[in-house]
C-alpha cells in the first residue's frame, strides 16, 4: 500500500472516529484507535525507508544477462531491473 493510500485511510478513520459517539456509534472507538495507531506506525516506517538504487556493477550485470552479441532484449531488461529494484527495496 502506498503512503498516500495509508494517509487517506487514516483520514477516513479519523472522520469515522469523530462520528462514532454515543448511541450513533458505527464502530467501537477502541477498534478505530487501534487501526489508526497501526496506520500511523506504518506511515512513519514507510517514510523512513530509503530508496536503494542499483550499483553500476549490478546494472551492468543485468544488461549482460539480456545482451546477445550486439542485440539487447530491452523488454527483458525492463522486467529484470524492475524485479531487482523490488527485491532491494521491499525485501
What would the pLDDT profile of 62-84 be if each residue is shown by its tens digit?
999 999 998 989 999 999 999 99
Rounded CA-CA distance 3/45 in Å is: 10
**The pTM is what?**
0.50
What is the DSSP pairing of strand 71-72 with strand 67-68?
Answer: antiparallel
What would the pLDDT profile of 4-32 be if each residue is shown by its tens digit?
898 999 998 888 777 766 666 666 667 77
Q: Are 9 and 52 in contact (CB under 8 A)?
A: no
Amino acid at each position: 500500500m502506498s503512503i498516500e493510500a495509508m494517509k487517506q485511510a487514516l483520514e477516513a478513520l479519523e472522520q469515522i472516529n469523530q462520528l462514532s459517539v454515543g448511541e450513533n456509534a458505527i464502530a467501537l472507538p477502541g477498534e478505530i484507535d487501534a487501526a489508526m495507531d497501526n496506520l500511523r506506525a506504518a506511515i512513519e516506517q514507510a517514510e523512513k525507508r530509503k530508496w536503494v538504487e542499483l550499483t553500476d556493477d549490478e546494472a551492468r550485470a543485468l544488461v549482460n544477462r539480456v545482451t546477445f552479441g550486439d542485440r539487447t532484449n530491452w523488454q527483458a531488461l525492463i522486467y529484470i531491473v524492475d524485479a531487482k529494484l523490488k527485491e532491494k527495496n521491499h525485501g
